[in-house]
Amino acid sequence: INRFIKALQGTLSLQVCSGTHLSLQVCLGTCLSLQVRLGICLSLQVCLGTCLSLQVRLGICLSLQVCLGTCLSPQVCLGTHLSLQVYLGTCLSLHVCLGTCLSPQVCSGTYLSLQVCPGPCLSPHVGSGLDHVPIYLLRCV
């Protein structure tokens, strides 16, 4: 238990929630997380390594995020949203969703993802390889 508490000492987490909310966050290493949620929210976030996570959600949201390695992932969601993101390696992900969105992402290796989705969207993306840097821009109206 002491070892686990020691691993969490580098964690800074600010969460603001209005409504029904369930959040589980585990961070091992340096972690900075700002989360603002208004409405019904279920969020599970696991980060091993250096992690910066900014998430703003207004409405009904379900989010699962797993990051192993260096991770920077800001997310903005207005409306109904389901987000599944799994990152293994160095990752930079910007996700903006206005409206109804379903956005699963799986990344293994170096990864850069930019998603802008105004309106209903379905955007699955799978990337693999250390030397593969996909730039994923999704614009859906």
Q: How many distinct structural domains can be found in the chain?
A: 1
CA separation for the pair 33, 42 (Å, rounded):
16
Whether pLDDT at 55 is above 70: yes
- Domain range holding 119? 2-139
Tell me the mean pLDDT in the region 26-54.
Answer: 71
**Who's near 120: CB < 8 A, 6+ residues apart?**
99, 100, 101, 140
Give residue 14's pLDDT band: very low, low, confident or very high (50, 70, 90).
Answer: low
Query: Residues 57-96: pLDDT tens digits?
Result: 777 777 777 777 777 777 777 777 677 677 677 666 666 6
Please list the helix, strand and coil fractions of the chain in percent, rounded to the nearest 5, in that order: 5, 70, 25
**Who's near 17: CB < 8 A, 6+ residues apart?**
23, 35, 36, 37, 38, 41
Q: How far is CA 10 from the centre of its chain?
A: 19
CA separation for the pair 136, 133 (Å, rounded):
9
Would you say 111 and 87 are in contact if contact means Cβ atoms under 8 Å apart? yes
